[in-house]
């Protein structure tokens, strides 16, 4: 099995697959301590399409961040503190948020509805009174009112000022505030925009002057930043701005570096690792502030995608296949369409919207001798509902070689970030069932929707 373990790139910490393995029967398994989960058996038991969530992976990756920062702060004799704030937009499901809070994460919200969930948890005493909440995103009156309400209920909540309207409104806010800076740095990422609508330019920020109770400066340079140097460039550019702001606002003592830490969705590309990034961050900030002879600020990161994406896999069964043709008649040698019992456009919208590449492996028959080069097609009647791995192919076992009557199943890794919130019901297709798997216990968090339930969403 060792060669197949290597072939499918399982058990690789740098690829986020350290908990995944293959058993003697050529089936995908997931390990959690002494527990072991057979994905093929779960498909037989619960059917497909299926989302499998493993909270222990979330907890492990969060602790990896904490460990790296703790070591770096000690190594460089850094005198500030470190905090991780989980951006709820990455995945708002309860089964993701609560494990992170229990392991020491704080929270970042981007809308009034996300903050309403925080209010609910706060009122139900579901987390420690020491938790800190940052509020990003454009703020409606309802959002601002809820921030003030929760502040009066003694929640440690900090609104991040995005624009001049918020700046004026929050001048009377009785608590700490943050402000968002537009780094104007060129980085390689999925969302590399020349300009965006968030935050203040350096010139605008320095012209504002003193801001009552300004505690924090925040930026977000992009998502899925693929180069380590591109993660550090905005940190380096931030420090002169922070130093100038602190001269006018001496209470300023926190830098929030936002998100952007990339997930190695494509397992054939080398990616930076947590320790290297953290050391560069701490060293850069310490050097700048020591040179300016000011205290080292507390550091916040919001690496939500990196923490939660590998904690979920999405599983489908192959329901049909056909030869790929060009213009309806010319066959493409050695290539086939494999049709899944789900939809990329519905369940994994990034496939269609940003042409996301995924790590795709068979769930069963992983030790097959022969494979087909395939493109995957969803079950909607839309020609864009497909996955072609950027126009190349996916290797999967040949269906003609299967003899036990069991359908070929396929797992798509790293689907834990953003996909649920973006999911749709194109062609009124049902969403996958969702299982939460931890400590040997399997919980059905979402049943597969019936036609009646989907119809009700559209008024039927």
> Could you report the per-residue pLDDT of 156-193, keeping only the tens digit for each?
999 999 999 999 999 889 999 999 999 888 777 765 55
Residue 315 has a pLDDT of 98
Residue 26 has a pLDDT of 95
- 322 closest CA partner among 400, 382, 394: 400
Residue 328 has a pLDDT of 59
β-pairing, 28-32 with 50-53? unpaired
Per-residue buried b or exposed e for 394-413, using 16+ beta carbons within 10 Å of the residue's own CB: bebbbbeeeeeeebbbbbbb
SS3 252: coil
189-194 long-range contacts (CB < 8 A, ≥24 apart) are 189/221, 189/222, 189/223, 189/224, 189/225, 189/226, 189/230, 189/260, 189/262, 190/222, 190/223, 190/224, 190/354, 191/222, 191/223, 191/224, 192/222, 193/222
pTM, entire model: 0.94
Residue 1 has a pLDDT of 64
Residue 197 has a pLDDT of 72
Contacts of 405 (CB under 8 A, 6+ apart): none
What are 433's strand-pairing partners?
50
**Contact between 255 and 305 (Cβ < 8 Å):** no
Distance CA 22, CA 2 (A): 9
DSSP 13: G
SS3 347: helix
For residue 405, give Cα distances in angstroms to 320, 363, 402: 14, 15, 7
DSSP 143: H
Helix (H) or strand (E) holding 67: helix 55-75
Distance CA 363, CA 408 (A): 8
Residue 354 has a pLDDT of 87
Q: In sequence order, what DSSP letters do the residues of 164-195 get, joined into one string? A: HHHHHHGGG-SS-EEEEB-------STT--S-
pLDDT tens per residue across span 104-156: 999 999 999 999 999 999 998 888 889 999 999 999 999 999 999 999 999 99
Helix (H) or strand (E) holding 159: strand 156-161
Report residues of the chain scoring pLDDT below 50: none
């Amino acid at each position: 099995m060792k060669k197949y373990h290597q072939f499918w790139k399982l058990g690789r910490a740098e690829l986020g697959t350290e908990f995944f393995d293959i058993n003697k029967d050529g089936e995908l398994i997931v390990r959690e301590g002494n527990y072991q989960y057979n994905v093929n058996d779960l498909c037989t038991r619960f059917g497909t399409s299926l989302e499998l969530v493993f909270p222990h992976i979330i907890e492990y990756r969060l602790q990896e961040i904490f460990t790296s920062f703790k070591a770096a702060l000690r190594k460089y004799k850094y005198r500030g503190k470190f905090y991780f704030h989980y951006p709820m937009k990455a995945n708002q499901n309860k089964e993701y948020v609560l494990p992170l809070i229990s392991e020491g994460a704080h929270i970042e919200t981007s809308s009034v509805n996300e903050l309403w969930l925080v209010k609910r948890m706060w009122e139900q005493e579901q987390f420690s009174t020491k938790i800190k909440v940052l509020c990003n995103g454009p703020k409606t009156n309802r959002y601002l009112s809820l921030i003030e309400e929760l502040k009066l209920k003694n929640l440690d909540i900090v609104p991040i000022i995005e624009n001049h309207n918020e700046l004026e409104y929050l001048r009377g806010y009785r608590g700490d505030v943050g402000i968002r800076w537009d780094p104007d740095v060129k980085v390689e990422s999925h969302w590399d925009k020349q300009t965006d609508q968030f935050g203040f330019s350096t010139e605008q920020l320095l012209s504002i002057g003193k801001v009552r109770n300004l505690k924090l400066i925040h930026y977000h340079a992009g998502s899925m930043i693929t180069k380590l140097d591109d993660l550090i460039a905005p940190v380096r550019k931030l420090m002169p701005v922070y130093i100038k702001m602190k001269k006018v606002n001496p209470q300023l003592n926190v830098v929030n570096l936002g998100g952007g830490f990339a997930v190695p969705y494509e397992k054939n590309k080398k990616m930076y690792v947590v320790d290297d990034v953290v050391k560069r961050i701490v060293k850069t900030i310490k050097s700048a502030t020591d040179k300016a002879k000011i205290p080292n600020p507390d550091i916040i990161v919001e690496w939500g995608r990196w923490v939660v994406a590998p904690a979920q896999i999405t599983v489908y069964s192959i329901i049909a296949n056909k030869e790929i043709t060009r213009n309806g008649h010319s066959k493409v040698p050695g290539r086939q369409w494999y049709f899944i019992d789900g939809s990329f456009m519905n369940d994994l919208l990034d496939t269609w919207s940003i042409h996301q590449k995924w790590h795709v492996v068979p769930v069963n028959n992983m030790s097959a001798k022969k494979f087909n080069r395939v493109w995957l097609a969803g079950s909607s009647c839309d020609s864009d509902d497909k996955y072609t791995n950027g126009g190349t192919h996916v290797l999967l076992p040949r269906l003609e070689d299967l003899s036990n009557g069991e359908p070929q199943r396929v797992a798509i890794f790293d689907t834990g970030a953003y996909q649920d919130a973006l999911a749709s019901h194109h062609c009124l297709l049902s969403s996958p069932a969702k299982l939460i798997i931890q400590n040997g216990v399997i919980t059905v968090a979402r049943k597969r929707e019936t036609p009646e339930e989907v119809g009700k969403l559209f008024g039927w």
